[in-house]
């Protein structure tokens, strides 16, 4: 994905994240702010972009937990090819070797403001979720509305709703197979994607799945909570974007 910021005094950004929702939301937010954006789905993909001369980033945002080439090893490969500032993004603790390798890190969940602060050279802090958590963080929704059209904002949330539906189906299969690793991976992906758009109820369920994925007796309840969070987010779409009609009924 190539952004629209060429010609402006803003850095070119390469986003490396294997989670589609997190990756595309970050790309959309930064593109609408005026940055030129490139995306890669994993470390090897990013290396190929750099080696092929497809992009020359000044800032790289990389997820700390990806399959394949990742972590400090990925940073080493990136450093050998670019002078870009490199920031890690993670929903859990960043390893000490990765902390030493990168120029800073963002703790998930984070929203548009944290991304902009990072682009301006300010380290963003982790935000602790509230106990009485809303379906959607009103401030994040307001920030997105201020940066793009209602149709574009709606499209982002529709993508998240559709993604949650797929994750719920995959979680059911992982639960039936007793696949703890897959349950935790799904939880991490749900947490990251949902938190990017302030879908805090779904993000909290994702965090629980990631942290408690080995407690298989609890997974059926968490699956039901995930389905409820998805339904609540869909209802929010219908309430917030009534003019868009059927587009939100996913």
- Percent of the chain predicted with pLDDT > 90: 37
- CATH (residue range 138-240): 1.20.120.160
Among the residue ranges 79-88, 132-141, 196-205, 237-246, the one predicted with the least confidence is: 237-246
Q: State the pairing for strand pair 85-90/36-40.
A: unpaired
Note the helical H segments in the chain: 20-33, 43-51, 71-79, 96-101, 112-119, 138-147, 150-177, 180-196, 200-212, 219-240
Where along the chain do its domains lie?
Answer: 12-119, 138-240
Sign (positive/negative) of CA torsion 138, 144, 145, 149? negative
Predicted confidence at residue 126, as pLDDT, reads 41
Among the residue ranges 69-73, 101-105, 157-161, 241-245, the one predicted with the least confidence is: 241-245
- pLDDT tens for residues 53-103? 888 999 999 998 888 898 999 999 999 999 998 999 887 677 888 888 998
Task: Kindly report the average pLDDT of the chain as a whole number.
Answer: 83
Phi, psi of 34 (to 5 degrees): 115, 5
**Of 3.40.50.2300, 3.20.20.10, 3.40.190.120, 3.90.1300.10, which CATH number belongs to 12-119?**
3.40.50.2300
Phi, psi of 67 (to 5 degrees): -70, 160
Could you tell me which of 87, 86, 114, 99 has the C-alpha nearest to residue 25?
114
pLDDT tier, 152 (very low <50, low <70, confident <90, very high otherwise): confident
Predicted confidence at residue 127, as pLDDT, reads 40
Predicted confidence at residue 7, as pLDDT, reads 41
Q: What is the DSSP string of 138-169?
A: HHHHHHHHHHS-HHHHHHHHHHHHHHHHHHHH
Asked if pLDDT for residue 138 goes beyond 90, the answer is no
């Amino acid at each position: 994905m190539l952004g629209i910021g060429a010609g402006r005094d803003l850095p070119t950004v390469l986003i490396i994240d294997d989670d589609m929702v997190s990756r595309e939301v970050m790309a959309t937010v930064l593109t609408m702010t005026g940055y030129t954006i490139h995306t890669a789905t994993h470390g090897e993909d990013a290396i190929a972009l750099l080696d092929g001369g497809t992009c020359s980033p000044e800032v790289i945002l990389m997820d700390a937990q990806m399959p394949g080439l990742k972590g400090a090893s990925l940073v080493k490969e990136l450093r050998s090819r670019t002078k870009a500032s490199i920031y890690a993004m993670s929903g859990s603790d960043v390893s000490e070797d990765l902390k030493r390798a990168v120029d800073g890190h963002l703790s998930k969940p984070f929203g548009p403001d944290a991304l902009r602060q990072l682009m301006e050279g300010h380290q963003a802090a982790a935000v602790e979720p509230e106990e009485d958590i809303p379906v959607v963080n009103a401030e994040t929704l307001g920030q997105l509305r201020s940066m793009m059209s209602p149709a574009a904002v709606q499209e982002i949330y529709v993508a998240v709703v559709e993604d949650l539906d797929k994750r719920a189906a995959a979680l059911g299969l992982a639960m039936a197979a007793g696949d703890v690793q897959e349950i935790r991976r799904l939880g991490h992906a749900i947490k990251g994607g949902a938190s990017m758009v302030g879908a805090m109820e779904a993000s909290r369920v994702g965090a629980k799945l990631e942290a408690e994925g080995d407690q298989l007796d609890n997974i059926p309840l968490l699956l039901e909570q995930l389905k409820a969070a998805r339904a609540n987010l869909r209802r929010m779409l219908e309430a917030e974007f009534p003019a868009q009609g059927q587009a939100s009924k996913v």
